[in-house]
Amino acid sequence: MTTSFSLAVVGGDGIGPEVTAQALAVLDVVAPAHGLSFATTDYDLGARRYHATGETLPDSVLEEIRGHDAILLGAVGDPSVPSGVLERGLLLKLRFALDHYVNLRPSKLYSGVATPLGDHVTSRGDIDFVVVREGTEGPYVGNGGAIRVGTPHELATEVSINTAFGVERVVRDAFARAQARPRKKLTLVHKNNVLVHAGHLWTRTVDAVATEFPEVSVDYLHVDAATIFLVTDPARFDVIVTDNLFGDILTDLAAAITGGIGLAASGNVNPDGTAPSMFEPVHGSAPDIAGQSKADPTAAILSGGMLLDHLGFPEAAAQITAAVEADITERSSTPRSTEEVGEAIASRVAGGV
C-alpha cells in the first residue's frame, strides 16, 4: 500500500528552484521503498510574481498551501525587490500564518567536512546538536513602527513579543526532543541578565517544564557566552532552545562551524499539525551564483529528509542522511554542478549508500 502525501513546492528566487529540484528528485527516489508517494503542487511565488502582479502571498494562495501535508521551500529574496518585501511578505507570512512555532535547525559535523574549527576543538567530542528556535514571536512579529523617518528625530521601535503560551509550547517541544536524544541535555540560551522581562519568563518556563522531564539535564547560557562556546566547545551542546532572534543568529554560526551554509537544513514545524510544516535550507537565494548550477543542493536535500522524518518516516529520512554523509565523506576539491551533487546523492539513496 502506498501512502500519498501532498507537497506544496515553493522554489522561490535565485538558487531556490535549482536546489529544490534536487531535493524533490531525491525524495522521489527514496519514497517507493517506504510505501510513499508525493503529489506536488508548484507555487510561483517570489520576485517574478511580485514584479508581474505586485503580490507576495495572496490569501487565496496561502489557503491553498494550507491544504497540503507539507511544504518544501527553496529560498526567497532578490536584489530587484526592496529588502524585506519578500522575506516578510512571503516567508515570514507563511511561518506566522501556519503557526510554525518550532524552527528546527540541526547541526552536525560530518566526517570529512572542512570546518574552521581547529583539531583541539573537534577532538573534544561529536558535534551534533539541534537548535529549537521559537518561530512565531520575539522581535520578528512586526510589532513596531517609525515616525519622523529620515529626520534627525526619527523614532523606530521593534518590540519583542514573548507570551507565556508561546514560550511554554516551544520549551515543551525542546524538552521532548532532548528526552528522545541519547544525551538528553537542554541548554536555554537567552540574555536574562539584561533582558529581564522576557528572560525571566523564559527561565521560569524552562524551570517549570523541567520538572516533567527529570531525565533531561538543563543548562543555561547567555547568548554572548553561547557564541563563544559554539566556537570553542560546540560538542557541549545537545538541544538548544532560544528565542526567534537569538536562534536566527546562532544557527548561522552553527552552520558556519559545521561545514557552511551549503549543508544547513531546517524545518519550520507546526508540532500540533494544525497546518502543514515547511522545510527549507537555511541559506538564501544566493543571487551571486544563481542560474550557474553552482549551488550546493545538500542543505535542500537534507531538508527533504527532515520533511520525511516529520511525516513519520524516520527510516526514509535516515537513508537520505546516510547518503549525504557518504557523499560528503568522499567529496573532492573538484567542483561539481548542482545536478551532479543531486544525482550522486540520489544514486547513493537508490543503491543503499
- For the annotated catalytic residues, the residue numbers are 140, 191, 224, 248, 252
100 binds ligand NAI (CB under 6 A): no
Shortest distance, position 282 Cβ to Mg ion, whole Å: 7
283 binds ligand NAI (CB under 6 A): yes
Contact 282, 255 (CB under 8 A): yes
Which among 36-44, 190-198, 245-253, 259-267 is the span making contact with Mg ion, rule CB under 5 A?
245-253
Cα–Cα distance, 134 to 217 (Å, whole number): 20
E strand segments, 213-262: 217-222, 239-242
Question: Out of Mg ion, ligand NAI, none, which partner does residue 248 contact, by CB within 5 to 8 A per kind?
Answer: Mg ion
How far the first Cα of the chain sits from its last, in Å, is: 25
Cα–Cα distance, 80 to 29 (Å, whole number): 36
Residue with cell 502582479: 53
284 binds ligand NAI (CB under 6 A): yes
105 belongs to an annotated ligand binding site? yes
Shortest distance, position 297 Cβ to ligand NAI, whole Å: 7
134 binds Mg ion (CB under 5 A): no
Among the listed residues 75, 104, 132, 209, the single contact to ligand NAI using CB under 6 A? 75
224 belongs to an annotated ligand binding site? yes
Per rule CB under 6 A, count of chain residues that contact ligand NAI: 20
Closer to Mg ion by Cβ: residue 206 or 254: 254
Closer to ligand NAI by Cβ: residue 137 or 280: 280
| Cell numbers given for 136 | 512565531
DSSP structure class, residue 161? B
CB atoms within 10 A of CB 252: 14
Identify the burial level of 169 via C-beta atoms within 10 angstroms of its C-beta, where 0-12 means exposed, 13-18 middle and 19 or more buried: buried
Cα–Cα distance, 291 to 286 (Å, whole number): 10
DSSP structure class, residue 138? B
248 binds Mg ion (CB under 5 A): yes
285 binds ligand NAI (CB under 6 A): yes
42 belongs to an annotated ligand binding site? no
CB atoms within 10 A of CB 188: 24
139 belongs to an annotated ligand binding site? no
Question: Out of Mg ion, ligand NAI, none, which partner does residue 75 contact, by CB within 5 to 8 A per kind?
Answer: ligand NAI
Closer to Mg ion by Cβ: residue 248 or 327: 248
- Reduced to 3 DSSP states, what percent helix, strand and coil does the chain have, rounded to the nearest 5? 45, 20, 35
Cα→Cα distances 167→96, 164, 194, 239, Å:
15, 5, 18, 16
Question: Out of Mg ion, ligand NAI, none, which partner does residue 91 contact, by CB within 5 to 8 A per kind?
Answer: ligand NAI
59 belongs to an annotated ligand binding site? no
Among the listed residues 289, 328, 344, 350, the single contact to ligand NAI using CB under 6 A? 289
Q: Which of residues 244-263 bind ligand NAI (CB under 6 A)?
A: 261-262
Cα–Cα distance, 68 to 8 (Å, whole number): 6
Per rule CB under 5 A, count of chain residues that contact Mg ion: 1
18 binds Mg ion (CB under 5 A): no
Contact 209, 172 (CB under 8 A): yes
Binding site members for substrate: 95, 105, 133, 224
Interaction site with ligand NAI (CB under 6 A) = 15, 19, 75-77, 87, 91, 261-262, 280, 283-289, 295-296, 299
Interaction site with Mg ion (CB under 5 A) = 248
